[in-house]
């Protein structure tokens, strides 16, 4: 089975992001980057499917051409090669989906696995858009994937619980938190990953319409929560405040 998996580089989600004074972006010094955690889960799943059934895992990443550390991480997890679309600019989901479609048309995989969202823009759109553009079925927010006889049975994490759907393959599946626990690459895998091939294509050479449908005008800091935290020594005092001051409990 040939699988394309997205591998986006995002600012480390554990670090507090600061907006630049002029609102044109985020402060980039002191930022470290990571592989999008949901893409990491998608890569782990793709590698497990390959380990079971054979095939090839290809990473697909849109991001700065000189930043390949995160792609190497995915390769060290067991992906075979990578395609990088190089750009320093923010690419909105509808453009990303069109780029992914172009690569899927060229590579003809059986499956596209993606993180359910990238934890930088938190849009949660690209996988669904890609499925629609390809006229493939989608199974989003997967917590379990079983592949058999040209079909994938997917458990989806939805608001009400767990929903199971069955999709024909090829399909686009997006990974949620509980799909698996991504492996830490071993040193030999990391060494091996250094020799794996990354094809870098410049954004302007991609050869499709990359007109944005959404235009970001600026960033600002979110409003701060007013007031200090009142600390109490005893449960009685706390309950008293919730009753008499906040008026929340009776």
Partner 1 sequence: MSNILVVAEHYNGKLKSSTFSSITFARQAGDVHIAVIGSNISDTADALKSYGAARIYKIDKPELEQYLAYEYSIAVTELAKSIDAEMVAMSTSTTAKDLMPVVATRLEAGMASDIIEYTDGKFKRSMYAGNAVATLEITTPKKVVSVLDTAFAKAEPADGESPIEDFQVDIPAGKAKWVAMEESASDRPELKEAEIIVSGGRGFKGPENLHLIESLADKLNAAIGWSRAAVDAGWATNDLQVGQTGKIVAPEMYVAIGISGAIQHQAGMKNSKVIVAINKDEEAPIFSLADYGMVADLFEVLPRMTEKIPDQS
Interacting positions 25-64 with partner 1 (CB under 8 A): 26, 38
CB of 232 to partner 1, least distance (A): 5
108 binds partner 1 (CB under 8 A): no
- Subset of residues 201 to 230 that bind partner 1, contact rule: CB under 8 A: 212-222, 225, 227, 229-230
Residue 192: both structure tokens together:
């091996």
CB of 231 to partner 1, least distance (A): 5
Residue 152: both structure tokens together:
């994938």
158 binds partner 1 (CB under 8 A): yes
The string of DSSP letters for 67-84 reads --HHHHHHHHTT--EEEE
178 binds partner 1 (CB under 8 A): yes
Short-list 120, 138, 118, CA closest to 130: 138
The string of DSSP letters for 138-189 reads EEEEEEEEEEETTEEEEEEEETTEEEEEEEESSEEEEE-GGG--PPPPPHHH
CB of 96 to partner 1, least distance (A): 11
Short-list 199, 211, 213, CA closest to 4: 199
200 binds partner 1 (CB under 8 A): no
102 binds partner 1 (CB under 8 A): no
Between 190 and 219, CB nearer to partner 1: 219
Half-sphere exposure (CA, 13 Å, Cβ side) for 219?
12
Total residues at interface with partner 1 (CB under 8 A): 83
Between 60 and 179, CB nearer to partner 1: 179
């Amino acid at each position: 089975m040939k699988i394309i998996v997205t591998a986006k580089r995002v600012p480390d989600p554990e670090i507090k992001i600061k907006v630049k004074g002029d609102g044109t972006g985020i402060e980039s010094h002191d930022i470290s980057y990571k592989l999008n955690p949901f893409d990491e889960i998608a890569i782990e799943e793709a590698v497990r499917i390959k380990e079971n059934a054979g095939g090839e895992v290809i990473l697909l990443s849109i991001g700065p051409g000189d930043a390949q550390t995160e792609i190497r991480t995915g390769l060290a997890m067991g992906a075979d090669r990578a395609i990088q679309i190089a750009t320093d600019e923010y690419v909105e989901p509808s453009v990303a989906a069109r780029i992914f479609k172009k690569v899927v048309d060229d590579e003809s995989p059986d499956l596209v696995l993606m993180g359910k969202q990238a934890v930088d823009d938190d849009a949660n759109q690209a996988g669904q858009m890609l499925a629609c553009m390809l006229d493939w079925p989608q199974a989003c927010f997967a917590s379990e994937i079983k592949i058999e006889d040209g079909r994938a049975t997917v458990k989806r994490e939805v608001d009400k619980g767990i929903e199971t759907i069955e999709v024909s393959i090829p399909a686009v599946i997006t990974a949620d938190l509980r799909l698996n626990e991504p492996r830490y690459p071993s040193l030999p895998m990391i060494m091996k990953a250094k020799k794996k091939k990354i094809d870098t294509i410049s954004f302007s050479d991609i050869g499709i319409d990359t007109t944005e449908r959404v235009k970001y005008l600026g960033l600002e800091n979110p409003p701060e929560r007013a007031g200090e935290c009142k600390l109490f020594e005893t449960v009685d005092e706390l309950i008293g405040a919730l009753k008499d001051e906040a008026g929340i409990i009776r």
